[in-house]
Amino acid sequence: MFKYIYILFTQLDWRFYVTLILIMCAAIFLPAKYLKLFRSVRFNIWLFLALALASAVGSFLYPEPNLYRTWWFCGMLALMTFDVIVCKLLRFPTSVFEKFKKRRHTPPLNSSTVLKLATLKAELQSKLSFDLAQSAVQKFFKEKKFKVKTITDIPVPKSVKKKAVVVLASVQGIQKWGDFILHICIVIILAGGLIGAMYGFEEVLLIPEKTSYIMQNRNYEVELKDFQIEYYESTGAPSLYASDLVVRENGKVVGEKRIVVNEPLDIHRVRFYQASWGMTDDFHNARVHMAGKVVNLKPRQIFDLEGTPLSIRANIFYPTFDINDKRQAFTRDSKGSNPALQIDFLKKEELQARIWILRDQPGVAFKVDQGQVSPTAPPPFFLVDVDPVLFSGVQVGYDPGAPIFWTGAIVFVLGLCLHFYLHRRHLEVVLIPMSQGTKVIVGGRNSRTKSDFENEFENWTDELKEILKCA
C-alpha cells in the first residue's frame, strides 16, 4: 500500500502539485471579501444547478462525451472543489489553518458565548447546594451516556458577579464531523478522478483468436489463446463470452487468466476487461451447398466445379453485408446479422468473376466489378454457414487515481451517515451558587430542527427538576 502511494506520488506531474498548492493558497490567504461570493450558499446552489443542467445537456449528446471534457465544464468542477475548500476545509473544527487565520478563531467558552447558541432554554431554582447540584447534574448526564465536560470559574452571566460552573453534555457529538468529512471527501474524489484522467490510460484491443497484440501504453504483448461464446437456447442471445488471455512482458509471462464480463485480469493495476466481441473478415471454414451435397471451403482454397472448366475460391467473409451509396460492399458491424461470402470464379487460376453470396438470401447474389457491386443471377450453389474467426474486444484500463477515488468515496459515505443519521444534542448547564441553593440554567441545541429536540429537552429538564429538587 505504502509502496503504491509512493509510486503514485512520484509519478505525479509537478503541474498537479502547483495547481493544488495555488488553490489551497488562494483559499487560505485571499482576504475574506474576495471569498464571500464563494461562501454564499446561493452561489453554490446555482453552481450545483448549472452543473446538473450542463450534465443533462451532455447526456442528450451521448455518446459524444466531449462536453464533459470542455474547459468550462472542468472549470465548474474546479470551482466546486475550490468552494468546498473555502467553505469547509477552512472551517475545520480544530483546523491547523486556524493558526494562520486568526480572524476565524472561535472564542473559547466564556460569559459572552455560553448559552448563546442554545435554541432551547430553561431556568431552574434548585434547593441543593452548589456542589451537590453540580455532581447531580454530572451524574445525570453520565448515566444517560452523555459525554460530560465541566468548566469551572467562569463568570456567568455578566450581571452575576460570581464564579459559576458550566457542565457541557453532548451525545452523538461525532455528528459534527460528518459535514466536514463529506465535503472534504468531495475534494478527494475529484482529485482521484483528476489523477486518473491525467496519468491513467484506456486502450481497446481487438484481438483475433490465436493472435497477439502489442499494447501502446505498456510494454505488454497480449495473446488471445482462445475465445468462447455461448448462446441461450431459447433466445439465441449471447449468454457468455470469455477470453483466455496470456500477457507477456519482454517475453516473460506476467499474467494469465480466462476473463469474462465482470471478472477482469489485474496486472500491477493494469486491468484487462472483457468488453465486446465480434467476427473478423476471416473465417475458418465456409459450408456451401453444391449439387446436392455440402462442401467445406477453406479460406482462399481453390475448389473445382465438377463438369465445368471453372473453379471457385472463397476470399473473405462479411459478418453483416451491406451496400453503401457508392455501391460498394461493406460490413455494417461485426455481429453477423447478414453473413456473406465473397467467391471468385477462376479459369485456369485466372479470375473470371467475383460475386457475393448471402447466407440468409440464397436467391440473391451480387457481382463485383471495379469495386462496385450490382445484382446478378445467383450461382448454382448457396451458402449454408460460415465459421468465422472471432475477435475479442479487450478494454485495458490503468487508473492511478482509483484508490484515491475509492478511499474518498468510502469515507464520503461515512461522513454522510454521520451527518444525516446521527442526531447531535448539546446541553450547557450553567450552575450559579446562590445564597440559598443553586440557580441552574439549561441551554440546549441540536443538529436537526428545533422541533425534533423539543420533547426530549422538555423530558430531560423535567428529570433534572426532580433530581435537583427544584421548587
Partner 1 sequence: MEEKLFAVTYVAYTVATILFLGYAFTKRENLSHVARWLLIVGAICHVASFIVRTYFARQIPQHSWYVPWSNWFESFSFFTLVIVVEFLIVMGRNRLPILGAFVMPLAWLALIVGINSPFGRQIPTLPPALQSYWMAIHVPVMFISYAAFTMAFGVGLAFLLQEWQLKSKKPNHLTFRLPSLDDMDRMIYRTIAAAFPILTVGVLLGAAWAYDAWGRYWGWDPKETWALITWFIYAAYLHMRLVKGWRGRKAAYMSMLGFACVIFTYVGVNYISELHGFLSNTGR
* Cβ proximity to partner 1, 2 vs 60, nearer residue: 60
* Cβ proximity to partner 1, 346 vs 396, nearer residue: 396
* Cβ proximity to partner 1, 41 vs 96, nearer residue: 41
Residues touching partner 1, count (CB under 8 A):
55
Q: Beta-carbon neighbour count of residue 280 at 10 Å?
A: 18
Find out whether 182 and 198 touch, Cβ atoms under 8 Å: no
**Residue 75 near partner 1 by CB under 8 A:** no
Residues 292 to 351 in contact with partner 1, rule: CB under 8 A: none
**Residue 240 near partner 1 by CB under 8 A:** yes
**Residue 451 near partner 1 by CB under 8 A:** yes
**Residue 41 near partner 1 by CB under 8 A:** yes
Q: For 58, which DSSP code?
A: H
Which of 81, 128, 193, 312 touches partner 1 by CB under 8 A?
193
Closest CA to 305 of 288, 320, 282: 288
Q: Which stretch binds partner 1 (CB under 8 A): 44-52, 103-111, 314-322, 325-333?
A: 44-52
Please state, in angstroms and rounded to a whole number, the distance separating the CA atoms of residues 135 and 148: 11
For residue 454, give the C-alpha cell: 423539543
Angle at 96 between CA 95 and CA 97, to 5 degrees: 85
**Residue 120 near partner 1 by CB under 8 A:** no
Angle at 356 between CA 350 and CA 358, to 5 degrees: 145
Which of 9, 48, 92, 100 touches partner 1 by CB under 8 A?
48
Concatenated DSSP letters of 221-247: EEEEEEEEEEE-TTT--EEEEEEEEEE
**Residue 455 near partner 1 by CB under 8 A:** no
**Residue 199 near partner 1 by CB under 8 A:** no
CA distances from 300 to 306, 311, 345, 379, 453 (A): 18, 12, 12, 18, 84
**Residue 56 near partner 1 by CB under 8 A:** yes
Concatenated DSSP letters of 379-420: PSEEEEEEEEEEEEEEEEEE-TTHHHHHHHHHHHHHHHHHHH
* Cβ proximity to partner 1, 63 vs 307, nearer residue: 63
Please state, in angstroms and rounded to a whole number, the distance separating the CA atoms of residues 440 and 166: 10
**Residue 30 near partner 1 by CB under 8 A:** no
* Cβ proximity to partner 1, 156 vs 245, nearer residue: 245
Which of 11, 30, 116, 238 touches partner 1 by CB under 8 A?
238
Per the listing, cell 448563546 goes with 116
Which of 11, 59, 152, 352 touches partner 1 by CB under 8 A?
59
Q: Minimal distance in Å, beta carbon 340 to partner 1?
A: 24
**Residue 395 near partner 1 by CB under 8 A:** yes
Please state, in angstroms and rounded to a whole number, the distance separating the CA atoms of residues 271 and 261: 12
Q: Which stretch binds partner 1 (CB under 8 A): 119-127, 165-173, 209-217, 399-407?
A: 399-407
**Residue 261 near partner 1 by CB under 8 A:** yes
Please state, in angstroms and rounded to a whole number, the distance separating the CA atoms of residues 90 and 32: 11
Please state, in angstroms and rounded to a whole number, the distance separating the CA atoms of residues 388 and 336: 9
**Cβ contacts of residue 320 below 8 Å, gap of 6+?**
331, 332, 333, 334, 335, 336, 337, 338, 339
Q: Which stretch binds partner 1 (CB under 8 A): 214-222, 234-242, 287-295, 457-465?
A: 234-242
Q: Which stretch binds partner 1 (CB under 8 A): 1-9, 93-101, 345-353, 404-412?
A: 404-412
* Cβ proximity to partner 1, 275 vs 470, nearer residue: 275
Q: Where does this chain bind partner 1 (CB under 8 A)?
A: 41-42, 44-45, 48-49, 51-52, 55-56, 58-60, 62-63, 65, 68, 193, 202, 230, 232, 234-235, 237-241, 260-264, 271, 273-276, 395-397, 399, 402, 405-406, 409, 412-413, 416-417, 420-421, 449, 451-452
